[in-house]
Amino acid sequence: MTTAAPLSNSSIQREIVGRFAPAPTGHLHVGSLIAAAGSWLIARSAGGRWLMRMDDLDTPRQVPGMADDILKTLEDFGLFWDGEIAWQSRNRDAYRQAFDELHRRNLVYPCGCSRKEIAQAASAPHPEDDCIPYPGICRAGMQEGVAIRSWRLRVRDDNICFDDLRRGRVCQNLARSCGDFALRRGDGEFAYQLAVVVDDHLTGVDQVVRGDDLLPSTPRQIHIQKLLGLPQPMYCHLPLVSGPAGSKLSKRDNLVSSHLGSFRGREGVLLLEALRFLGQDPPLELTGASCGEILRWGVACFEVSRMPSSGGELRI
């Protein structure tokens, strides 16, 4: 994947609809708070709305009570959303329609390959990407007697480019980075890549702000949008919070919710640090302020162009 200088967001004139879309598989951690606060501030500072969606398709990984825990955490930080909460698990008919259309047009095919087979057959995986390029084994048809493990969308051997508000121009060749990718599992469940495109479109989301870990997914989502004739949202991928010595944070770290006791009444301290992490310069007078006051400052003063080019540790 290649990137170039960032675009300013000053020329954007359409109504902004942003969103936050966590999966209820664990407590929010500091990294997810950055994504929530960042998407909230970028939408609100442009006069936009901010929607809430639970990405609850991956049933086995879900933890009971976590959706409520996430919503409560957001409220504690003053990150209130507009309108009804959307739930992916209630939207399977819409995913099925989109999938059927792509299938009818012969853009999707069944695949019987296991992860292990793909890893063995693929040439060296791309270190920058989050998937092993699928070498196209089932593209021309599956072997007889093999069970369907996934349904894959055909990709083309050309560049998909978009202008990320922070990262600038990003280009990726899907055939080389990822190959034909899964839209649906063999058990019928729809993949994140398809669901997110359909949901964002149906709810009018035109500003997708999320962590940099999802940057490699974006060209796949744009490919789906193009095939379905859907408008492309603007994208902004935020710097990632790392653990000590650059290690990746996971939901298992549970840094926000497990320490919520110690943050209760001090959410503002963490929120101010989140703003600083995002390159903003909140005035010292906001020390000790409530989340509401800090967010009001953020709505007036947040500048996308100040965001840093890389992430790091967030010190609290």
Query: Between 34 and 111, whose beta carbon lies closer to ligand GLU?
Result: 34
Among 22, 38, 133, 216, binds ligand GLU (CB under 6 A): 22
Residue with tokens 């930080």: 77
Task: Residue 1: count other Cβ atoms within 10 Å of its Cβ.
Answer: 15
Could you tell me the strand order of the sheet in which 181-185 lies?
Answer: 108-111, 150-153, 181-185
Can you spell out the DSSP letters for 11-55? T--SPPEEEE---TTS---HHHHHHHHHHHHHHHTTT-EEEEEE-
Residue 42 found at the interface with ligand GLU (CB under 6 A)? no
C-alpha dihedral, 196 to 202 to 205 to 208, nearest 10°? 10
Contacts of 228 (CB under 8 A, 6+ apart): 98, 101, 102, 197, 201
Q: Rounded to whole angstroms, how far apart are CA atoms 271 and 155?
A: 41
Residue 23 found at the interface with ligand GLU (CB under 6 A)? yes
Stretch 70-99: interaction string toward ligand GLU, x if CB under 6 A: ------------------------------
Residue 210 found at the interface with ligand GLU (CB under 6 A)? yes
Query: Between 197 and 272, whose beta carbon lies closer to ligand GLU?
Result: 197
The minimum distance between CB 212 and ligand GLU, in angstroms, equals 11
Rg over CA atoms, the chain: 20
The minimum distance between CB 262 and ligand GLU, in angstroms, equals 25
Stretch 48-67: interaction string toward ligand GLU, x if CB under 6 A: -------x------------
> Which range binds ligand GLU by CB under 6 A, 19-27, 132-140, 159-167, 178-186?
19-27
The minimum distance between CB 35 and ligand GLU, in angstroms, equals 7
Query: Between 22 and 311, whose beta carbon lies closer to ligand GLU?
Result: 22
Instruction: List phi, psi (to 5°) of 315.
Output: -95, 130
Note the residues at the interface with ligand GLU (CB under 6 A). 21-23, 55, 196, 210, 214
